[in-house]
Structure 1
Amino acid sequence: MGETVEQQLAAWVKQQLSQEQAVTLQALSGDAGFRRYFRVSNSQPPLMAVYAPPTTENSELYLAVSQMLASGSVRVPQVQAVDLQRGFLLVEDCGDQLLLSALNPDSVDAFYHQAMDMLVALQAVAVPEGALPHYDGQRLWDEMALFPTWFVQGLLDQPWGRNEQTLLDECFDWLVVSALEQPQALVHRDFHARNLMLHSHSQPAGELVTIDFQDAVTGPITYDLVSLLRDCYIRWQPAQVEKWALAYRKKLIQKGRQAGVSDQQFIQWFDLMGLQRHIKVLGIFARLFLRDGKAGYLHDLPLVLHYTLTV
C-alpha cells in the first residue's frame, strides 16, 4: 500500500528542514475548501505544512499574490518552501488567533484603523499587467446571479419569474456601473476579521497578518473596505461604520490617491459595493449549505440579509 498524502507531506517537510528525526504533523480543522493545513511539531521557527491539491488549488497564483503583497509591506505568512507539482507548501505558522475573536467595543476602533492602514498599503501594490484577473462587469454580474439560483429558488424554494428577473437585472446593472466607475486597485476579495490574524509568535506579539488572498483581483477601491466594515460575521453600528469608511477615504487622500470627489460619492460607492457583495454572499452561503453540506453558514445569513435590506 502506498503512502498517504499526509505521509508524503511529512517526508517532504523533513527533507526541507534537513533533520534526521521524523516530522510529526498535527492536522488543523478549518473551512479552507480543498486545502489541508498541518502544524509542524517542534519546528523553529514555528511552521505549517499545507496540502493544496493541484487539481483544485492554484498555488502558483497564491505564491504570486503573496510576493506582490509582501513587496508592498503587507504582512502575509512567509513561504519557506514549495513543491507545486505535488501541491506541498511549508509556510510560517502565525498561530491561532483570528482578529474576529479579539474584537469588542473597546478594541475595535484601534484594530480597524490598523486593518485599514494595511488595506491602504495593499491597494498601493503595483500589479503587473495581466498578473491578476479584473473584477469586470461580467464577473460582478456572475457573482450576483448566484442569489436567485441558490438563495431564492434553492434555499427559500420561491418561484422566480420574468418580472422578478427583469427587476433584478436593472438592479445588477446599477451596481455594476457603480463598481466600475470607482478607482481600481488590488482587491484581496475576502478582507475581513476571519482572514486577519494576530500573529502569536511575532515580536512583539499581535502583529496583524492577512491570509486567504489567493482569489485576489484588480477592482473597486471600496470592495475590501466594505468586506471589513460590514463583515458578514460581526456587526457594528451604522454611524460608526460610516465614520470608519470616511476615515479610510481620508487616509487615501493623505496618500495622494483617488477617493471620489466628495464624502457623499465615496459613501454611495461603499454602500452599493456592499450591496453587490452581500447579494453574492447570500447565494454563496446558500450554495455552501445545499451543495456542500456546510450548515454553519446558515447562522450567518440573517446578518447578511440585514445588510442587504438596509442599504
Structure 2
Amino acid sequence: MGDTVSDRESLRLDWARTQLRQPALALRRASVDAGFRSYWRTEGGDGSHIVMDSPPGLEDVRPWLRMRDLLEGGGVRVPQVLARDVEAGLLLLEDLGGPTLAQVIDAGNADDWFDRAIAQLLKLQAIAVPADVGAFGEALLQRDAGLFEEWFLRRHLGLELDCAQAESLQLVQRRLMDNALAQPQVLVHRDFMPRNLMPVLPEPAVLDFQDCVRGPIAYDPISLFKDAFLDWPLARVDGWLRRYRARAADAGLPVPAWEIFQRDADWMGVQRHLKILGIFARLHHRDGKPKYLADAPRFIAYLDEVLPRHRELQPLAGLLQTVIKPALRAKDAA
C-alpha cells in the first residue's frame, strides 16, 4: 500500500510540474473529500494552482467534468480547468483561495453572502436537466431512509425498534418521500451549502457538483440555510427561504406559493437531516472518520425546531423524545 501511495504522489507531482513547466514545483494538501478525491495547492512556482486527484478505479473524474461543463454553460461560477488527464484522474484547476464560504460567513455578512449564493442557485436550477442525468426518485429516497435506521439508530445507538416504533418511523419516512416526489423537479446539487461554495466575487463559486440529479426544488435551498456544519436562528432561515422563493418565482422557476414551499422545505430538511445522521454514523463506524459525528447534535436540534410545526410528522417527534434522545444520552454517559 505504501508503494502505491508513493507512486501516486510521484505521478501527481510530475504531472503538475510538466503542465506548468515548473520543475521545482511542490504540492501541499489543500483539502480532502469525504470520498477518495483530494486537492493539492502548488507551491514554489509562478502563481498558485490546484491539482485535483481522482485515483482511477476509486473516483472517476468524468462525471465531475461533465457536470462542470453543464453548469458553466448555464452561467454558474465553477472552477476553471486549465489542464486535464482523464485517464490518470488528474486535473489542473484555478486556485479559488483557501477558506470556503463556511469559514468566512457570519451573522453580520450572511444576508449578503446568501443573496449571492441564491443568485448562483437560481442559475443552477434554471438549467434544463439532461435526459440521462439520474433522478432523486424513489430508489434514492429509500436508500437515504435506510441510512438513518441502519447506521445511526442500529449501528451507532444500538437501537432495535419494536414493531410500533418501526411503523412510526416508516410512516413518517413515507410521508417525507411522497412529499419530495410531488415537488416541482429541477436540477439539484444535493450538497449546496457554504462548505461547497468559495467566497469569490461577485458570486460564490460552486464546488462538489458531480452528483447533481433531477429532484425536488426545495432540496438545495434548505441545504444552503440548514447546513451540516453551520446553524442559524429559525427566524432567519425562514426569512432567507422567503427571499429565495420570491426570487425563484421572479425568475420563472416552478416554485409553489409560500405556505406550500415552507412545508416542502421543512419536510425536505427533515429527510436530509435523517440521511446525514446516517451518513455521519457510517463515516465513523465503517470508514474510521469520527469527526463528522460531532455535528450530530445540530441535526437533532433542527428536528426539534421543525417537527412541532407539522402534525403529520408527530410520530417522528415522539420517537425522537422517547427513544432516540434517551439512547443518545446513554451513549454520551457511557
Whether TM-score is above 0.5 comes out as yes
| Residues 60-85 of structure 1: CA deviation (Å, up to 9, x unaligned) | 11001100111111111111122121
Counterpart residue number, 1:202 = none
- Residue identity in the other structure for 1:209: A
- Number of equivalenced pairs: 303
> How far 1:127 sits from its partner (Å)?
2.4
1:79-109 deviations in Å (ceiling 9; x for gaps): 1122121111111111111111212221111
Q: Does 1:117 align with 2:113?
A: no
For 1:95-136, what per-residue CA distance to the aligned partner results, in whole angstroms no more than 9, with x for missing partners? 111111212221111111111111011101122211x21000
Give CA-to-partner distance per residue, 1:261-287, whole Å, 9 cap, x none: x21101010000001100101111111
Q: % of aligned pairs identical?
A: 37
Secondary structure of 1:26's aligned partner: strand
| Maintained 8 Å contact 1:27/1:37 | yes
Equivalences for residues 19-98 of structure 1 within 5 A: 19=21, 21-98=23-100
In structure 2, the residue matched to 1:176 is 177
Match of residue 305, structure 1, among 300, 304, 317: 300
Shift of 1:42: 4.3
Distance (whole Å) between structure 2 residues aligned to residue 240 and residue 308 of structure 1:
16
The 5 Å alignment of 1:119-158 reads: 119-130=121-132, 132-158=133-159
Task: Flag the structure with higher helix content.
Answer: 2
| Letter aligned with residue 255 of structure 2 | A
Structure 2 residue aligned with 1:266:
261
Q: Equivalent of 1:278, from 270, 273, 279?
A: 273
Tell me the distance in 1 between the aligned counterparts of 2:182 and 2:146.
21
AA partner of residue 172 (structure 2): C
When normalised by structure 2's length, the TM-score is 0.86
Deviations 1:219-247 (A, max 9, x none): 01110110011112111111111111111
Letter in 2 for 1:264: E
Aligned pair in 2 of structure 1 residues 20, 187: CA closer, same or farther (>3 Å)?
A: closer
CA change 1:79–1:171 in 2 (3 A) is same
Letter in 2 for 1:150: W
Q: Which sections of structure 1, spanning at least 5 residues, go unmatched?
A: 200-204
CA distance in 2, matches of 1:224, 1:251: 14
Counterpart AA for 2:289: K
Equivalence for 1:6: 9
Separation in structure 2 between the aligned mates of residue 244 and residue 211 of structure 1, nearest angstrom: 21
Aligned residue in 2 for 1:235: 231
Matched residue SS, 1:63: helix
The DSSP-based 3-state class of the residue aligned with 2:195 is coil
Deviation of 1:213 after TM superposition, in Å, equals: 1.1
With over 3 angstroms needed to count, the CA separation of the structure-2 counterparts of 1:40 and 1:152, relative to structure 1, is same
Range that drifts further, 157-166 or 100-109: 157-166
- Structure 1 residue ranges, 4+ long, deviating more than 6 angstroms after superposition: none
Q: Distance in 2 between matches of 1:247 and 1:20?
A: 48
8 Å Cα contact 1:148-1:160 kept in structure 2: no
Cα distance in 2 between the residues matched to 1:16 and 1:171: 53
Q: Is residue 249 of structure 1 aligned with residue 251 of structure 2?
A: no
- Change in CA separation of 1:176 and 1:257 when aligned onto 2, cut-off 3 Å: same
**1:81 aligned counterpart, secondary structure:** strand
CA distance in 1, matches of 2:226, 2:22: 49
| Conservation of the 8 A alpha-carbon contact between 2:199 and 2:205 | yes
Q: How far has the Cα of 1:185 moved from its partner?
A: 0.9
Structure 2: tracts of 5 or more residues without a match: 307-334
**d(CA) in 1 for partners of 2:55, 2:151:** 27
Aligned to 1:190: 191
User: How large is the Cα RMSD of the aligned pairs?
Assistant: 1.8
